[in-house]
Amino acid sequence: MADKSNASSRWLDLLWVLFLVGLAFLPPNNEPHKLIILAIIGVFQLLERRVIPAAPIRGRYYVVLIKLGLATILINHTQDVAINSSYYPIFYLPVMTAAMYFGPMGTLLWTSLASAAYCSYLFPVQAVGVPRWLARLMGSGSESAVFTINAAGISELAMRMLFFFLVGMIVNRFVMEYRNQVRRYQELTETLSETNRSLKQAQAEARRAERLAALGQLSAGLAHEIRNPLGVIKGSAEILMQKLAASEVLAKELAGYIYTEVNRLSALVSRFLDFARPSRLALEARDLTAVLEKAVKAVADQGATTNVVIERNYAPGLPQVMIDEELCEQVFTNLVLNACQAMGESGGTLRIRLKPENQLRTTVIAEIEDTGPGIAPDMKEQIFNPFVTTKKFGVGLGLAIVSKIVDAHGGSVQVVSTPGHPGACFRVSLPASRERGAEPSSS
């Protein structure tokens, strides 16, 4: 792309040089000022592309002003009576440049200024107090400064100036049209890349759901098979413990071990079955605020929120959500517990936010953010897998269960990172109820 535009601008530069060389060879010949000004115009034209990006706002004023000055001086050096110069179309240069960089009003103003500069040659003033070189450059005080102008001359002049305006406005319209088009394309590109991003996200989430479903199926079978023998072992150990006489201390202790460990295993299997069992949802329109508060209370009851400051930010007038209240409470209990555990003994700030996703309020977003160590980018997807844990006594099922429940609700859960914020933030989106319970019932 850049190569192409570079090549075409080099072509344009070459055309400019050819154009100026052409002008240089046309009469009046032997006029050094004319050649110098043409050379300056050429150099300036080539520099323009650097000036504009360097100072986009002020640069365009300078560029048009300088071109206007150069054009005015040029026609003075191409004819004894400047107003008669056939070089007057050089004024198209500042006019078209203004049309390219300014809006319609700006173009009109600049074109008026160009016309005024052109007309200034109708009034050959005797320069007073002006350095002689400047006076000569401007042509003031030259012997041929006095002339007469008739009606035909005036209409010719008016015609030329009208054409300045015509060209200025036409070019400006094209440029404005072009700019609009570019803006539209840019907006389209942004929308497209936004769509692309959400598509990728949806794909990733679909993959996660598939993975969890497959794992769930496999492990449900396994857990089920393990549970029955575990029950038998547990019962046997219990009876053994009761029957063993006080004399057989060692045997009793061992039976005790068997009993407690089997208990732990069966608790694990039960939790695993919770994860693996297909969730059957009892959906009802509910206020998510209440569910979140229950979850926070459940975690606080476990004593995990000591040293944790809780900041709540619930958007007003939130729509209700279609959820299975019990399962969703489990979701937020897991997330809040994880957040508190991540912040550890020293505690921190737990921020809980509730807001609608967009103006349409079709989705409600809950965010649980902590000030803990955060989650490494390569772990952001992994932690949702079962048995991924970094905790000494962790099981690694919490987030897998969260993901599964949220998926079953047709929602999504993801780890979002806020720039400059080290902690973790989990964002859960849940579909809003169509009844719009919490909203004023005006519609």
Ligand X SMILES: Nc1ncnc2c1ncn2[C@@H]1O[C@H](COP(=O)(O)OP(=O)(O)O)[C@@H](O)[C@H]1O
List residues binding ligand X (CB under 6 A). Answer: 334, 338-339, 342, 370, 372, 375, 383, 388-391, 394-400, 424
CA distances from 123 to 90, 118, 135, 146, 155 (A): 20, 10, 14, 9, 17
Cβ of residue 383: shortest distance to ligand X, in angstroms? 4
What is the residue type of 78? T
Among Mg ion, ligand X, none, residue 370 binds (CB under 5-8 Å by kind):
ligand X
Nearest residue (CB) to Mg ion, 94 versus 398: 398
Residues 287, 435 contacting (CB under 8 angstroms): no
Nearest residue (CB) to ligand X, 310 versus 395: 395
Angle, CA of 250, 253 and 255, to the nearest 5°: 110
Verify binding: residue 398, Mg ion, rule CB under 5 A: yes
Among ligand X, Mg ion, none, residue 299 binds (CB under 5-8 Å by kind):
none
CA distances from 65 to 86, 137, 248, 264, 344 (A): 22, 17, 108, 85, 66
H or E segment to which residue 425 belongs: strand 425-431
CA dihedral sign, ordered 197, 202, 207, 211: positive
What is the residue type of 421? H
Nearest residue (CB) to Mg ion, 386 versus 398: 398
Cβ of residue 334: shortest distance to Mg ion, in angstroms? 6
Q: Looking only at Cα atoms, what is the longest distance across the chain?
A: 139
Nearest residue (CB) to ligand X, 263 versus 417: 417
Identify the burial level of 288 via C-beta atoms within 10 angstroms of its C-beta, where 0-12 means exposed, 13-18 middle and 19 or more buried: buried
Number of residues in the chain: 443
Cβ of residue 379: shortest distance to ligand X, in angstroms? 7
Among Mg ion, ligand X, none, residue 342 binds (CB under 5-8 Å by kind):
ligand X
Among Mg ion, ligand X, none, residue 115 binds (CB under 5-8 Å by kind):
none
Cβ of residue 268: shortest distance to ligand X, in angstroms? 11
Q: CA–CA separation, 93 vs 67, rounded Å?
A: 7
- CB nearest Mg ion: which residue? 398
Which residue matches tokens 């953010």? Answer: 369
Among Mg ion, ligand X, none, residue 388 binds (CB under 5-8 Å by kind):
ligand X
Nearest residue (CB) to Mg ion, 114 versus 425: 425
Residue 138: which residues within 8 A CB-CB, separation 6 or more?
A: 73, 76, 127, 130
Cα–chain-centroid distance for residue 300?
38
**Stretch of 149-157, 238-246, 265-273, 394-402 lying at the interface with Mg ion (CB under 5 A):** 394-402
Nearest residue (CB) to Mg ion, 120 versus 341: 341
Omega cis (within 30) before 440: no
Among Mg ion, ligand X, none, residue 94 binds (CB under 5-8 Å by kind):
none
Cβ of residue 385: shortest distance to ligand X, in angstroms? 8
Cβ of residue 394: shortest distance to Mg ion, in angstroms? 6
Nearest residue (CB) to Mg ion, 289 versus 330: 330
Tell which positions 305-344 bind Mg ion, by CB under 5 A: 338
- CB nearest ligand X: which residue? 398
Size of the site for Mg ion (CB under 5 A): 2
Nearest residue (CB) to Mg ion, 401 versus 432: 401
In this structure, the strands spanning 348-356 and 308-314 are: parallel
Cβ of residue 181: shortest distance to Mg ion, in angstroms? 53
Residue 317: which residues within 8 A CB-CB, separation 6 or more?
A: 438, 439, 440
Identify the burial level of 156 via C-beta atoms within 10 angstroms of its C-beta, where 0-12 means exposed, 13-18 middle and 19 or more buried: middle
Nearest residue (CB) to Mg ion, 172 versus 333: 333
Cβ of residue 404: shortest distance to Mg ion, in angstroms? 14
DSSP notation for 123-187: S-----SS-HHHHHHHTTT-GGG-----HHHHHHHHHHHHHHHHHHHHHHHHHHHHHHHHHHHHH
Among Mg ion, ligand X, none, residue 111 binds (CB under 5-8 Å by kind):
none
- 429 in helix, strand or coil? strand
Cβ of residue 332: shortest distance to ligand X, in angstroms? 12
Which residue matches tokens 């994860």? Answer: 275
Among Mg ion, ligand X, none, residue 307 binds (CB under 5-8 Å by kind):
none
Nearest residue (CB) to Mg ion, 398 versus 411: 398
Nearest residue (CB) to Mg ion, 23 versus 368: 368
Cβ of residue 339: shortest distance to ligand X, in angstroms? 4
Q: CA–CA separation, 424 vs 343, rounded Å?
A: 10
Cβ of residue 300: shortest distance to Mg ion, in angstroms? 16
Verify binding: residue 372, Mg ion, rule CB under 5 A: no
Instruction: Give contact residues for Mg ion (rule: CB under 5 A).
Output: 338, 398
